[in-house]
Structure 1
Amino acid sequence: MSLRAAEDDPATEIHLPADIDWEMLDKSKFFFLGAALFSGVSGTLYPIVVLKTRQQVMLNNCPCFKMAASIFRSEGWRGFYRGFGTSLMGTIPARSLYMGALEVTKSNVGNVASVRLGLSEASASAIANAAAGVSAAMAAQLVWTPIDVVSQRLMVQGGDKYSGGIDAFRKIVRADGVRGLYRGFGISILTYAPSNAVWWASYSMAHRGIWSGIGCYFCSKSDENVYRPDGKSVVAVQAFSAAMASGASALVTMPLDTIKTRLQVLDGGCGRTLTAVQTVRNLVKEGGLGACYRGLGPRWASMSISATTMITTYEFLKRLSTKNQESFAL
């Protein structure tokens, strides 16, 4: 990949490390290392997810720090990891599906957009990333929705109703059948598909924009009038681009995420299942549009930290998993 630098010398170019597509990866190494790396990331960020989930299902708004203090006083550190074992069980297969669908779609759509449709590199990259985000989200939700339902029940209702993940799984199936495990599946797709599309397209544009605008300041100039960034600069730009993309994605999809969480956790009383319309009405009654954005702070923080960690870990994972390591050394 090469991007024009915004410098006085228009002939100067920034040469970034080559993009790694699906065909360049050692698949077994890619999935094995990916499972290990992202399990660690999930464990680090899980307490923030617990805070976000509890805020979304409360009838009244509660500040994030007050909520955290309440959980710590009543449940200790274990309260921040309720349902984590169940969540971790789903993380590995869901992440594997996500990464596979992401890379295959990105490579195929990128080739079609640039070669057959004749679009510019920037446009083809944004379209390929958006399409890859949609397909990856849809593939992962087939596994992740049941895990999400169980883990969120444990986060919110904990030991009061369930003794663990297996007990929650059995009780949900006994009460609602297999459909109970896929409560909110439709709204999950409506949440995560556009969220991923917005995130990956925004990331692609932010990443390209930073390198095109001020990238030359992160590079050293060679004798061939070429700017080459070091490894730290590449990671810093990836991280900042991920944080920017997370902000856009969180704002766009937060109401859908709140509705999804409530559908998966709350009942309508007397064993009845709430519909999406009823959930929206209840939210509006509780606090208008602002109620749909409860937990925005933790979600934004979670998405930004997760995305920053994820993208830097993901790019590192791809470089570790290339068939020819020397070709992609920073």
Structure 2
Amino acid sequence: MEDKRNIPIIEWEHLDKRKFYVFGICMTMMIRILRTEGTAGLYRGFLVNTFTLISGQCYVTTYELTRKYVSRYTSNNAVKSLVAGGSASLVAQSITVPIDVVSQHLMMQRRGESMGRFRVRQQDGKGLLVFGQTKDIIGQIFKADGFRGFYRGYVASLLTYIPNSAVWWPFYHFYAEQLSSLTPKDCPHLLLQAISGPLAAATASTLTNPMDVIRARVQVEGKSSIILTFRQLLAEEGPWGLTKGLSARIISATPSTIVIVVGYETLKKLSLRPELVDSRHW
């Protein structure tokens, strides 16, 4: 079916897969590392970053293939985006959660803070971190909780990120289409997409922030029950506790979302099959 949208979506069948994966791996590595740690990040935590690349590629592949599959049953872009976004997040989180568990301990260590159960007491009562390098953290988690320790907060992550991803994509396309109808026809599509990304991220973050707060508590504090964690949070901080970090989350997500959107849309345009290059505008 011909795409009648003002900003046509580049679908899976429009891509040269070899270009898509070669360019995609390089672009994902640069975006994920440079936006968080700068150039030094290119040489730090290589093992963790490698698994992050796998997660990113699995996410986009699942998203595009699911869109293609769902298109057999409906031409509604919102439905395709919602189902594909949720499915992609499910696959990616199965890879990402263990990375997050380890990374959170690394981040807290850099700030000089302890991580709940994972510390020892000195005679003066001060907490002394026992986590050093990544391999030491992995060993401590496995010793304490076994394989399950790497998936602590997995259900909470799914309840956070699946809705977030499922909501982000439809809103992203919705905002891009609305902006396109309000701007001159010669306005660069990439600019409209770069604006739409943060708008969609702010919308998705607002809707899913409560579960993100609970997820962080479950993973960091080693809790096993989402319901008990929710009740404890309400008892300690009230309903406002569920909005904790929302403004910071939106603000911090804006620059990274712009980079990701511009990178991904550029990747797809660079990966277009030769006969379709002139049919898509920047």
2:197 — aligned with what?
242
2:137 — aligned with what?
168
CA distance in 2, matches of 1:168, 1:328: 50
Find the structure with the greater CA-based Rg: 1
2:229 — aligned with what?
279
Q: Report the residue type matching 1:202 in the other structure.
A: F
CA contact (8 A) 1:145 1:188 kept: yes
The TM-score, its normalising length taken from structure 1, stands at: 0.72
Distance 1:149 1:295, change over 3 A: same
CA contact (8 A) 2:269 2:277 kept: no
2:65 — aligned with what?
104
Report the secondary structure of 2:101's partner residue.
helix
1:302 — aligned with what?
252
Q: Offset at 1:169?
A: 1.0
Q: Offset at 1:143?
A: 0.7
1:316 — aligned with what?
266
Distance 1:46 1:291, change over 3 A: farther
Q: Report the residue type matching 1:144 in the other structure.
A: T
Q: Offset at 1:326?
A: 3.2
Where has structure 1 moved over 4 Å in runs of 4 or more? Answer: 83-87
CA distance in 2, matches of 1:86, 1:297: 32
CA contact (8 A) 1:94 1:144 kept: yes
The TM-score, its normalising length taken from structure 2, stands at: 0.83
5+ residue gaps, structure 2, are 113-128
1:37 — aligned with what?
27
Distance 1:46 1:93, change over 3 A: same
Report the secondary structure of 1:113's partner residue.
coil
Report the secondary structure of 2:74's partner residue.
helix
CA distance in 2, matches of 1:101, 1:316: 19
CA distance in 2, matches of 1:138, 1:274: 20
Structure with more relative contact order (C-alpha pairs < 8 Å, separation 6 or more): 1
CA distance in 2, matches of 1:246, 1:101: 20
**Residue 79 (structure 2) aligned to one of 127, 138, 144:** 127
Aligned residue-pair number: 258
Query: Which whole-Å deviations, capped at 9, do the CAs of 1:239-261 have from their partners, x for residues lacking one?
Result: 11111111110111111111111
Q: Report the residue type matching 2:101 in the other structure.
A: V
Q: Offset at 1:135?
A: 0.6
Q: Report the residue type matching 1:244 in the other structure.
A: L
Alignment RMSD: 2.4
2:241 — aligned with what?
291
Distance 1:86 1:154, change over 3 A: farther
Q: Offset at 1:111?
A: 3.7
CA distance in 2, matches of 1:323, 1:103: 16
Distance 1:318 1:202, change over 3 A: same
5+ residue gaps, structure 1, are 4-13, 48-77, 115-123, 220-228, 268-272
Q: Offset at 1:277?
A: 2.4
Query: Which whole-Å deviations, capped at 9, do the CAs of 1:153-204 have from their partners, x for residues lacking one?
Result: 2112447231121111111111101111011111111111110111111112
CA distance in 1, matches of 2:46, 2:246: 25
2:124 — aligned with what?
none
Q: Report the residue type matching 1:250 in the other structure.
A: S
